[in-house]
Structure 1
């Protein structure tokens, strides 16, 4: 129960703060973009079973790999484009959230 609260709290609530810090004037639009980055979970559809509560998604699913996460982070750091950077931040934070979930699984 606590693990789910932390996981979904990070996915839905913490990103409100990220959106606000990223763009105080247009934080609602930024929040929607950050929510949309959860579409990265589409790579779960390639797994069998699609959902396994015991499986850590980090480095299991292709878009959740360390390589992909590295690319998301580099884009977040170096991109000059407002929207591309925000998407990369959202993807990187999604990976962090899933990493925390994996740590909590192993407690």
Structure 2
């Protein structure tokens, strides 16, 4: 349970740190956009069970698939999509830690 809570806190705090460091002039907006990318977890609703603490999300869920991760990385290089890409890459990285 404590690992799950740490995971959720990191999903909130790491985008905040990235927003503060790299988008300081608009950090609040950047943070909110990156937080909105947590909606990617809606793909968990298609899984059975919806939540499994032992399951590796990356590579299992549709929006956590490796091709999707490639699209998220590519979004980092598109100026208008950079914040969304950053939020999604951070999200996948944190979810990937659960797979170790």
Q: TM above 0.5, one fold?
A: yes
Normalization by structure 2: what TM-score?
0.91
How many pairs were matched up?
100
* Residue 53 (structure 1) aligned with residue 53 (structure 2): yes
| C-alpha separation in 1, matches of 2:50 and 2:2 | 23
Q: What RMSD in Å do the two structures reach over aligned CA positions?
A: 1.3
Provide runs of 4+ in structure 1 moved above 6 Å.
Answer: none
Task: Give me the TM-score of the superposition, normalised by structure 1.
Answer: 0.86
- Which digits, 9 at most, give the CA deviation of each residue in 1:50-107, with x for residues without a partner? 111111111000100111001100111x2022xx11001100110000001221xxxx
The reply to whether residue 99 of structure 1 matches residue 96 of structure 2 is yes
Contact map agreement 1:22 1:30 (CA 8 A) in 2:
no
Q: Name the structure 2 match of 1:31.
A: 31
